[in-house]
Structure formats: structure tokens, C-alpha cells
């Protein structure tokens, strides 16, 4: 009877229990697949949000501003990008936000220095000193010199003046005097000499036409056919062009054939294509 009833229902176009079961079993995997696809799409979209944020693209979060060029956005000054959000920096006292994305993100104000990247401590300025214009160090006032962490009074000797230099003795001797220990002693300039005003080297030099000999400035004996020479070496004179020095005299040069005076004019050389042989210029081979 059951078999006849089923056949009858099939003939009348009715759906029996067996057909209903087949339809349910066919559509269940499709429904699960669609649900999984939607879930995967949601995960991808959610995962992409932090990527946009970390890259400065996508919609700007709170405490951020759009860039004026190249698109995207940046955190406002005083905030830093953290996990896709612009989080406010914890600024220590006497500091300011730099707006940099690296480092601490802050710097100490003028007159303060960073301590272990955590705080800004006041720069110690001793008595009789002032903070440099850079704001990172101090300098002693005029009339004082630095001695470790203090500014001590400069003891100015006679015949000296303050230099204003923050290091060293802080003073220099007047013209005509030279420093010796903590004093300024007179410079003994011989006759026909003058002060060089040089901080290094000789304190005096001989006038033109005079040469130093044993602390004196003796007149230079210029031979015939010579002129005074101001070079620091040599006898103090030089032969005219066409003459060469021989002892304390200038002897006229005798040029062989096919020769010419050199650049200084106090010696000769063979012309191009010739070479010296026995005091003559012979054709080269």
C-alpha cells in the first residue's frame, strides 16, 4: 500500500517526504559556502583598516589632518600614530612636541636639557655667567673665565687687556709686551728693528735693508749688480738678471751658443734640441 501511495502522489505532482529530504541535503553546503564567503570578506575588510591607518591612507582618525600634497593624512602635532590611532604624547614639563614620527617626539625648551629621554632638567648656569644664545650651554661674563663649573675672576696683569675669550687666560699683553708666565714683559727691539705683532714666532724683525745677526739688525752689504731681497733666507740680496752669485759678489753670466737665461735670470740652459756638454750646448741625438 505504501508503494502504491507514493506512486500515486508522484503521479499527481505532489512532493513526498523523500524528495523534500533530497532538496534539503543539496542546498545546505551552498548556504554554508555563502556564509563563509561573507565572513571572509568581512575579515579582509577589517584587517585592511589598520593597514590603511598605519600607512596614513584611508579616512583620517581623530586628532589627524589631511596632507596638503600626495594625499593621505598625518597625526596632529602632539599626537603619534599607534595601532591605527593618533594617541596623545605624554610630554614632560618644559618640553614641546616636535611633530617628528621618530624618537621621543618631543624636545626640551631653551635652557633645559634632556635626561634619559624622560624629563627636561634646567641647565645649570653658575654665578657670573649667562646662557648662550643656542640655549644648550653657558658662558662666563666678561672679566671672568671658566674654571670647571664656575666662573672665576680674571686677574689682569699690568700692560694687559681682556680678550673676551671664554677659555684660556682671558687676557693678552699690550703692543710692545709679551706674556711670560702671569706677567707682560717688554719686548726688547734692537735698533733698525720693528714689532711683528705676531702671537707666534718672532716678536720682532729687522727693517728692510737690515739682517738679524746675534740679536742685532745689521745693514745688509749689497754687492754691485745686486738688489735687496726680502726673503727670510739667503744673504738678504739677489743678483740682477744676467748675473750669478759667487761668494759675496755677482758675476756676469757668459752664455754659450744655443743657450738662454732661465726663469730667474741667474743661470742658463740649453735651447730645445740641445744638451750641455763641457759647458757648451751641442745638438742632441
- What's the pTM? 0.51
Residue 211 has a CB neighbour count (10 Å cut-off) of 17
DSSP-derived letter for residue 184 is E
Please give the Cα distance from 128 to 138 (Å, whole number).
Answer: 10
Candidates 162, 165, 157, 203; CA nearest to 184 is: 157
Average pLDDT over the chain reads 82
Mean pLDDT of 28-52: 47
Please give the Cα distance from 64 to 99 (Å, whole number).
Answer: 12
Max mean pLDDT among 65-69, 98-102, 276-280 falls in 276-280
pLDDT digits (tens, 9 = 90+) for 129-172: 999 998 889 999 999 998 889 999 999 999 999 998 777 788 99
Q: Is 216 helix (H, G, I), strand (E, B) or coil?
A: strand
Candidates 188, 187, 183; CA nearest to 171 is: 183
Range with lowest mean pLDDT among 67-76, 152-161, 183-192, 245-254: 67-76
Burial 87-119 (b: 16+ CB within 10 A, else e): eebeebeebebeeeeeebbbebeeebeeeeeee
pLDDT exceeds cutoff 50 at 207: yes
pLDDT at 54: 53
Beta-bridged to residue 268, according to DSSP, are 261
Amino acid at each position: 500500500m505504501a508503494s502504491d501511495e507514493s506512486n500515486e502522489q508522484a503521479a499527481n505532482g505532489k512532493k513526498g517526504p523523500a524528495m523534500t529530504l533530497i532538496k534539503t541535503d543539496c542546498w545546505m553546503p551552498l548556504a554554508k559556502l555563502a556564509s563563509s564567503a561573507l565572513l571572509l570578506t568581512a575579515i579582509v575588510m577589517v584587517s585592511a583598516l589598520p593597514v590603511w591607518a598605519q600607512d596614513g591612507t584611508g579616512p583620517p582618525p581623530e586628532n589627524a589632518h589631511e596632507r596638503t600634497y600626495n594625499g593621505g593624512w598625518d597625526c596632529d602635532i602632539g599626537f603619534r600614530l599607534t595601532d591605527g590611532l593618533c594617541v596623545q604624547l605624554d610630554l614632560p614639563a618644559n618640553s614641546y612636541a616636535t611633530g617628528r614620527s621618530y624618537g621621543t617626539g618631543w624636545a626640551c625648551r631653551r635652557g633645559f636639557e634632556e635626561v634619559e629621554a624622560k624629563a627636561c632638567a634646567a641647565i645649570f648656569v653658575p654665578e657670573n655667567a649667562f646662557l648662550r644664545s643656542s640655549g644648550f650651554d653657558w658662558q662666563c661674563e666678561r672679566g671672568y673665565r671658566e674654571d670647571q663649573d664656575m666662573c672665576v675672576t680674571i686677574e689682569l696683569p699690568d700692560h694687559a687687556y681682556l680678550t673676551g675669550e671664554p677659555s684660556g687666560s682671558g687676557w693678552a699683553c699690550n703692543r710692545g709686551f709679551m706674556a711670560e708666565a702671569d706677567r707682560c714683559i717688554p719686548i726688547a727691539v734692537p735698533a733698525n728693528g720693528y714689532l711683528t705683532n705676531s702671537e707666534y714666532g718672532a716678536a720682532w724683525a729687522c727693517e728692510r735693508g737690515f739682517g738679524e745677526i746675534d740679536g742685532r739688525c745689521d745693514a745688509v752689504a749689497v754687492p754691485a749688480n745686486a738688489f735687496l731681497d726680502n726673503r727670510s733666507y739667503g744673504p738678504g740680496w739677489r743678483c740682477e738678471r744676467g748675473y750669478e752669485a759667487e761668494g759675496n759678489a755677482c758675476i756676469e753670466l757668459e752664455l754659450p751658443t744655443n743657450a738662454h737665461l732661465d726663469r730667474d735670470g741667474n743661470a742658463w740652459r740649453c735651447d730645445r734640441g740641445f744638451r750641455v756638454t763641457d759647458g757648451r750646448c751641442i745638438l742632441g741625438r
